[in-house]
Amino acid sequence: MNIEPWLKSNTFHHSMFWNNLALLEQKEKKDQTVSLCIPTLNEEKTIGKEIVIFKSELMDRYPLIDEIAVIDSGSTDNTLEVAESFGADVYLSSDILPEEGEKKGKGENLWKAIYQLKGDIICYVDADIKNVHPRFAYGLIAPLLYHDQIKYVKAFYDRPLVVSGNIRVSGGGRVTEILMRPLFSLFFPELTAIVQPLSGEYAVRRNVLDKLPFPIGYGVETSHILDVYHRWGLEAFGQTDLDQRVHRNQTTAALGKMSFGILQSFLNRVERNGMLEKLPDLSHIHRQFQFRNNQYEQTTSKIIEEERPPMITIPAYREKFGLEKN
């Protein structure tokens, strides 16, 4: 295995795409439309700034993005009001494809966005970025416009920890380094070339997204990478260095739950692809300890990585986008 050629040809830095006018000309040449999706749940503190920056620079000044949509899981703060007031299209996940029912999780929002949004390219950006900049969108969209063979572009960046209001320059991406990189090293060495497989920012061609099943929870990014790799190979990926991302850091306990869900999705795909014999029935109860009242108490969480089917199998989607019937 030699990943060096891929790293040289498919790894970019956002500064390569600073010329938004040239990027807009390339978009028009390729006759592509682009949608920006921001999945949300109680993000009133950061969502407004994100929308202002993306809309002013990448819609009003350079119309690289054709729509900005917030897909919300049911926020109880003012996320929806703030997003709408700054010009985003706002949707409740539960209102999209109501005949398919409602499920809770970020992956559910991402899946329903495929139906709701119009673009040939969909760019997902998380809602909690404190140092948001237009590069978080154009840096991911650009490789898809310039390189026809690339189908799925991941972001990577330094992810500093914010501790008591101070920024420590390293320490983010903990689940990637403790869980995903060891698993990829064991089972899929080529995928270790992807610097941050769990990053929440990525841009994908619609005709790829609608063929992928979507875990509704923590395992969505891992599943995407494995499914795209299995179907199209490493050459289908690109990755862009966005320098640094400052965001709300999760607790170690929360990262443990995330890892539990990711591991379920990973093992399911390893089994599905014939790399392991049939797995035994696995527990969906994640057990942790917390120290309270001068003693350790065990806590349990039920985490099931339920999946949505590929959007292309949904009749309403096929009808909306004029796809031929099976």
Segment 26-50 shows an average pLDDT of 96
Left, alpha or beta for 19 (phi > 0: left; psi -120 to 50: alpha)?
beta
Q: What is the pTM of this model?
A: 0.91
127 within 8 A of 51, measured Cβ to Cβ: no
Residue 168 has pLDDT above 50, yes or no: no
Task: Classify residue 290: in a domain, yes or no.
Answer: yes
136 within 8 A of 58, measured Cβ to Cβ: no
pLDDT in tens, 190-200: 999 999 999 99
User: Based on the structure, what is the number of domains in the chain?
Assistant: 1
Q: What is the pLDDT of residue 247?
A: 62
Which H or E run contains 38? Answer: strand 34-40
C-alpha 22/C-alpha 242 separation (Å) is 19
Task: Classify residue 141: in a domain, yes or no.
Answer: yes
Task: Classify residue 241: in a domain, yes or no.
Answer: yes
Task: Classify residue 326: in a domain, yes or no.
Answer: no
Q: 247 is in which domain, residue-wise?
A: 4-320
pLDDT in tens, 234-254: 999 999 999 988 866 778 888
The mean pLDDT value of the chain amounts to 92
User: Dihedral angle at the C-alpha atoms of 56, 157, 219, 75, nearest 10 degrees?
Assistant: -40
* CATH code for position 16: 3.90.550.10
Cα within 13 Å of Cα(144), Cβ side:
29
- Per-residue confidence at 164, pLDDT binned at 50, 70, 90? very low
Q: What is the pLDDT of residue 166?
A: 47
C-alpha 165/C-alpha 63 separation (Å) is 36
Task: Classify residue 325: in a domain, yes or no.
Answer: no
